[in-house]
């Protein structure tokens, strides 16, 4: 219903912000959206969200203060660890995402 569509819209907004390299706004949207992975996004969007989460977190960490850098890197590593575990368990569709990060 409306909740699923709202989540998809947030996800698409995040993708557009990443494409335009608006990392600060993307990080704000990431925090505002919460954990979309737990939501009923489905397999494909859940994997894409995890990769976007890691990418946004890494880019924001580059420009953050020391404490902010640690926070964002920890968040990125958590997403990257999840992607690696999916790849290790046989999901070949996430291997390219790991290489991008």
Q: List, for residues 24-78, the tens digit of each pLDDT value.
A: 999 999 998 877 776 655 567 778 888 899 999 999 999 999 899 999 999 999 9
pLDDT attached to residue 42? 59
Q: What is the DSSP letter of 21?
A: T
39: left (phi over 0), alpha (psi -120 to 50) or beta: beta
- For residue 90, the SS3 value is coil
What predicted TM-score, i.e. pTM, was given to this entire model? 0.83
């Amino acid at each position: 219903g409306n909740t699923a569509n709202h989540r998809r819209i947030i996800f698409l907004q995040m993708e557009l912000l990443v494409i335009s390299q608006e990392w600060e706004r993307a990080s704000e949207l990431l925090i505002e959206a919460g954990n979309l992975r737990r939501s009923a996004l489905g397999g494909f969007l859940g994997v894409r969200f995890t990769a976007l989460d890691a990418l946004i977190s890494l880019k924001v960490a580059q420009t953050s203060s020391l404490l902010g850098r640690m926070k964002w890197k920890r968040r990125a590593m958590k997403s990257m660890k999840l992607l690696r575990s999916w790849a290790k368990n046989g999901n070949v569709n996430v291997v390219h995402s790991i290489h991008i990060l």
